[in-house]
Structure 1
Amino acid sequence: MREIELDLLLKVRKYSRYAVGVAIVLSFAFARIIEESEITWQVVIALIALAIGIPHGALDHLVTLPRSNFKKMALFITLYVAVAVLAVIALLTWNVVGFILVVIMSAVHFGIGDAAFISEIDRRSEETKRFQKYLYATAAGTLPVVIPLVSDKSTSALEKVNPALVDWHQGLNNDLMLWVMLITAFALLRLVQRRRDGEAIDLVLLYLLAVTAPPLVAFAVYFGCWHAMRHTARLTLTLPSSQEAFTNGSAKRAFIRAVLPGTPALVGTFVIAALIVLLRGDSLDDQFLWVSLVVVWALTVPHMAVTARLDRKALN
């Protein structure tokens, strides 16, 4: 069964690379048009990316708790929702401080998740070349998060999301850019020295995506086609229904079974975001993307805490 699990992981890795590669090529090809066009289409792409990525975080209870224990399940869901609600309130109250914490949290979550994904591949392929997981995680997490948010192109995107976030970096944008570049350069050097060419390719792709694509597009492609896909592939290694599909020899069915149970969360997230906007008396046109992002970020807080257990297991 390990062979079919490995096959799925490798296919998902290839797909995520192709998606990022296509985005990079299109960004180069249409650079002038993108710079001169309105940002509305980028907002649409960002919302589509959220729709693709949201289900990957909706199965925490299925992979961390025994489904037969109703009391534990109910307590888990109650605490999960309570933490998310508090996070929503905090983000809507303290926009800039909350956003800075989200940036840090996202960089950690994305980087460790990607390193754990690669570790799962290593475990099944019996890779013997040493993989410096946390160095890679630092670069892989900060590249897709920090670079798009400190570039010159980030102003229009942040104004559309929430004007209060434009100067979130407090003038340290060049410093943040420099540190991320130094970390990435060092990580690439160590990966090449260790002949971890696959991981080096991943970092180069993430760098090119971050510096060529408009911020919202870079986020859309990364979140929907890289992070969510790889995390979902990892879920199949634990989710009982996916494991059953693997036993029957179907990697495709195993992946689908890790996606479908999370789709109700997609509808719920957007409904809750719309209700928050309307209850605040705001316009859906102006606030829906911002509030949708807030809800997703808020859900990421308990999601990170729960997936930390899976991450530790993968990285050990």
Structure 2
Amino acid sequence: MVLLARQVRMGTGSRTRPRGATVAATGPCGPASPGTTAGRTPLTTAATWSRWVLSGTAVVAGGHLIGLPAVPAPVVLALAGLGLVAGVPHGAADHAIVARLAGDRPVAAVAAGYAGAAAGVWALLRWADPAALIAVVILSGLHFGLGELEVARRLTGWRPPHLVALAVAVAGTGALLLPLARSGDQLRAVATTVSPGLARALGWAPMQTGLVAVWLLAALVAVVASLRTGHPAVALDVLILGAVGLLAPPLLAFAVWFGGWHSLRHCARLLTIEPGCAALLTTGRRREAVLRLIRLAAVPSLAAWTALAALAWLTASASDPPAVLAQVLRLLLALTVPHALVVLWADRNTRRTDVLPDPPREGHAT
């Protein structure tokens, strides 16, 4: 605790961005577009909309605290399914990023490898429970937390010390940790279908208390450090995530965050790191950049949605909505593993000082 307090007092030291300065960044294959600098950028727009989505969810879902009717269970399940499905496209352009990072490898080969990895993880989740599920859930939490930290860096230019950065990352998983700790009826039903062992763990009181305590400590450190160093947007995001994680039904909280926060912000980041989109943004052609990203994500998104529809159709005969959501969640977890590795790879390159060179062209010396 003493060390944490010292980190909070230190703030960012010399690494704090001067007021009015812009944040320079490099994309996977060269300088990133102005979308990573100060001003109205795709990421700031996405951040604003995502705050409205989650704030609205928290307000509506928390109405029962002042005597308003609670959100009906069928509505919760329907909105949760919509949120999970809406989150699919944010990883659908991974093949283009990998192809570029790997030296312009054939997209078909990259896509095949990606799909094969996801299929392998899905098989492990289906038949190697609970060890595989625990590992994937931990990786997912790491991916979500690092994603929140990267967004905070790009929005504010803040480079906090390691322990504060860890706190920001953990606090950024409030829409995952807090719903897991609360474990409502719908979430328990879905968890039981995915893994009975997981459902029992979620109902274990020490586990629930520990998750809440970890998040509260991380949130306290993140909020205090961000306010002390002049980055209130980070504190605002932590508070919004905490509100939706505490007020909304657990399954709904995670699903809305996944589709309306994590996915939306990641797509905005892609506009600045995918070379073609970044080039269009540089010339002020935002609409064309968005359309390019949609084209890149269209086929993989349709494939994932088709798989989800097939799984839903196969389980619909049981008239068990939690079973359908469990199949959706299992597929999303399987897709998360290769997606998390791709995002980590891309983020490492966007923070490098030595820019990744263009791949060698035929007839030119390497």
Give the TM bin, normalised by the shorter chain.
0.7 to 0.9
SS at match of 2:329: helix
Give the Å deviation of 1:108.
0.9
**2:115 paired with 1:81:** yes
Give the Å deviation of 1:281.
9.9
Paired amino acid for 2:337: V
**2:349 paired with 1:313:** yes
Summarize the alignment of residues 54-65 of structure 1 with structure 2, pairs less than 5 Å apart. 54-65=88-99
Please list every run of 5 or more consecutive structure 1 residues that lacks an aligned counterpart in the other structure. Answer: none
Please list every run of 5 or more consecutive structure 2 residues that lacks an aligned counterpart in the other structure. Answer: 1-32, 353-366
Distance 1:169 1:96, change over 3 A: farther
Asked if structure 1 preserves the Cα contact closer than 8 Å seen for 2:223 and 2:238, the reply is: yes
Give the Å deviation of 1:69.
7.5
User: Where does residue 328 of structure 2 map in the other structure?
Assistant: 292
Summarize the alignment of residues 8-27 of structure 1 with structure 2, pairs less than 5 Å apart. 8-27=42-61
Choose the corresponding residue for 2:85, options 44, 48, 51: 51
Asked if structure 1 preserves the Cα contact closer than 8 Å seen for 2:273 and 2:350, the reply is: no
User: Where does residue 268 of structure 1 map in the other structure?
Assistant: 303
User: Where does residue 184 of structure 2 map in the other structure?
Assistant: 154
Give the Å deviation of 1:40.
2.1
Distance 1:214 1:168, change over 3 A: same
Paired amino acid for 1:138: V
User: Where does residue 69 of structure 2 map in the other structure?
Assistant: 33
Larger C-alpha radius of gyration, 1 or 2?
2
Query: Aligned-residue CA RMSD in angstroms?
Result: 2.9
User: Where does residue 225 of structure 2 map in the other structure?
Assistant: 190
User: Where does residue 108 of structure 1 map in the other structure?
Assistant: 142
Summarize the alignment of residues 99-248 of structure 1 with structure 2, pairs less than 5 Å apart. 99-122=133-156, 127=157, 130=160, 132-141=164-173, 143-151=174-182, 153-160=183-190, 162-163=192-193, 164=196, 165-169=198-202, 171=204, 172-248=207-283
Distance 1:130 1:70, change over 3 A: closer
Distance 1:110 1:68, change over 3 A: closer
* Distance in 1, Cα, partners of 2:252 & 2:112: 34
Give the Å deviation of 1:147.
0.7
* Distance in 1, Cα, partners of 2:303 & 2:309: 10
* Distance in 1, Cα, partners of 2:318 & 2:128: 20
* Distance in 2, Cα, partners of 1:3 & 1:89: 39
SS at match of 1:237: helix
* Distance in 1, Cα, partners of 2:314 & 2:186: 27
Normalised by the length of structure 2, the TM-score is 0.74
Asked if structure 1 preserves the Cα contact closer than 8 Å seen for 2:152 and 2:158, the reply is: no
Asked if structure 1 preserves the Cα contact closer than 8 Å seen for 2:35 and 2:281, the reply is: no
* Distance in 1, Cα, partners of 2:170 & 2:102: 38
Report sequence identity in percent. 24
* Distance in 1, Cα, partners of 2:284 & 2:188: 46
* Distance in 2, Cα, partners of 1:222 & 1:27: 14
Deviates more, 1:249-258 or 1:226-235: 249-258
Distance 1:70 1:111, change over 3 A: closer
* Distance in 1, Cα, partners of 2:315 & 2:229: 54
Distance 1:148 1:311, change over 3 A: same
Paired amino acid for 2:137: V
Deviates more, 1:75-84 or 1:270-279: 270-279
Asked if structure 2 preserves the Cα contact closer than 8 Å seen for 1:114 and 1:230, the reply is: no
